[in-house]
Structure 1
Amino acid sequence: MKKLYCFDFDGTLTHKDTMFLYLKFYNSSKFNQQFIKHIPLFILLKLNLLDAEKIKKSFISAILKGESKLKIEAKSQEFFDKFYPDIFRENALEFIKNIDYSKTDCYIVTASLDIWVKPFAEKFGMKLLATRAEFKNDVFTGNFVGKNCNGLEKVNRIKEATADGRYDKTIAFGDTSGDQQILDWANEGQFKFFH
């Protein structure tokens, strides 16, 4: 029996959202300045008056744009070394430890950027489908490649990645409205399973 597991990352496997955590770790003084500047946008977002993807891009770009791929990758590895396994839910780590990878394909499917989730996916031996950071000449442009990996995009990306796979069962794990489509799409949708 061949299974497909699709795990959301932030809040599902971890206790907290990693975007703010990573950006603050990357450059705390720049983070603090930009956080204050972005407060009016965060308020408008809470009131559903602005698009989340635009604000996310603006905030990430304000801190990381112009940084080299080499530096970002090094910082992402440092971030992993500092926060693994502390930011993870114990139930999630226990579950992952017991996966039989010979019969199961596993993906982390996340709206977070690939740059900081990659070391965690590698640690778990999972494939990664994430919002993709755009680099030109090995420098981060501040843009994303393609769409923010959230909502319906999660389903599209997993379908694309597993097009040639035959699975007896697909199981998705999520914890927010951004995971609803992938939970509905899977044979089995597990909401807040590790909470």
Structure 2
Amino acid sequence: MRKLYCFDFDGTLTYRDTMFMFLRHYNACRFYIRFVLHIPLFILLKLRLMDAETVKKSFISSVLKGERRSRIEEESDRFFNENFPAVMRQNALDFLKSRDSAQTESWLVTASLDIWVRPFAQKFNMKLLATEAEFRDDVFTGRFITPNCNGNEKLNRIRAEIKGRKFDKIIAFGDTAGDKPMLNWADESYFRFFH
């Protein structure tokens, strides 16, 4: 039986959101300064007066814009090495180890930026569907080349990737409202399964 597993990342497989963790890891001084400057935007987001994608883009850009791809990738690998497996839910690790890789495909479908999630996807031999960072001349522009991979966009990305391929069963895992379109679409879905 050919199965496709679609896993959300932050909060589903991990104990914590990795965006703040990675940005603090990358440059703690800049992170804290930018965090304080973004407090008004975080408040507007909480009050639903701003959308998450705008605030996320602004904050990530304020820390990483202008950085070279090679340095970001180097720090992403270091971040992975320093935080794996501690950041992962033990139940999730056990489940991932038990997959029958011959009969299954596993995709990591996340709103997090591809640059710091890629080492995790590689570790678990998963295809990565994430919000993608834009680089020009190997320098991060501060923009994304894809829409924020959350909500309906998660489902759009999965459908585009499937491209007519057939699976006997599609199984999805998530932990927030942003995962609901993916969970509702899958043949089998699990909400906060690893919590």
Q: Is the structural similarity TM-score above 0.5?
A: yes
Please report how far the alpha carbon of residue 164 of structure 1 lies from its aligned counterpart in structure 2 after TM superposition.
3.6
2:75 match: 75
Q: For 2:131 and 2:21, how far apart are their aligned partners in 1?
A: 17
2:147 pairs with 1:183: no
Question: Which whole-Å deviations, capped at 9, do the CAs of 1:88-131 have from their partners, x for residues lacking one?
Answer: 00000000000011100100000000000000000001110000
Residues 44-193 of structure 1 mapped to structure 2, 5 A cutoff? 44-193=44-193
Partner of 1:40: 40
TM-score (norm 2): 0.99
CA distance in 2, matches of 1:179, 1:121: 18
Partners of 1:82 and 1:165 lie apart in 2 by 37
Unaligned runs of at least 5 residues, structure 2: none
SS of 1:189 mapped into structure 2: strand
Match for 1:193: what amino acid? F
Q: Deviation per CA, 1:125-159: give whole Å up to 9, x if none.
A: 11100000000000000000020000011001011
Tell me the distance in 2 between the aligned counterparts of 1:137 and 1:167: 39
1:53: how far off?
A: 0.2
| Partners of 1:117 and 1:47 in 2: CA distance | 28
Matched residues in 2 for 1:105 and 1:162: separation?
Answer: 11
Task: Tell me how far 1:194 sits from its aligned partner.
Answer: 0.3
Q: Which runs of 5+ in 1 are unaligned?
A: none
Distance, in Å, in 1 between the alignment partners of 2:30 and 2:18 is 17
* 3-state secondary structure, aligned to 2:99: coil
In structure 1, C-alpha distance between the alignment counterparts of 2:133 and 2:60, rounded to whole Å? 10
- The CA distance in 2 between the partners of 1:175 and 1:163, in whole Å, is 26
Report the AA paired with residue 75 of structure 2: K
* Aligned amino acid, residue 69 of structure 1: R
Superposed, 1:14-33 pairs within 5 Å as 14-33=14-33
In structure 2, how many angstroms separate the alpha carbons of the residues matched to 1:165 and 1:86?
35
Whole-angstrom distance in 1 between the partners of 2:177 and 2:115: 23
Distance 2:183 2:15 in 1: 20
> What is the number of equivalent residue pairs in this alignment?
195
What value does the CA root-mean-square deviation take over the aligned residues?
Answer: 0.5
What CA distance in whole angstroms lies between the structure 2 residues aligned with 1:189 and 1:96?
16
Paired AA for residue 88 in structure 1: M
Matched, 1:4 2:4: yes
What letter matches 2:154 in structure 1? K
Structure 1 length-normalised TM: 0.99
> Given residue 188 of structure 1, which amino acid in structure 2 is its aligned partner?
E
Q: Which whole-Å CA distance do the structure 1 matches of 2:48 and 2:187 have between them?
A: 31
C-alpha separation in 1, matches of 2:165 and 2:101: 15
Measured in 1, the distance between the counterparts of 2:146 and 2:87 equals: 28
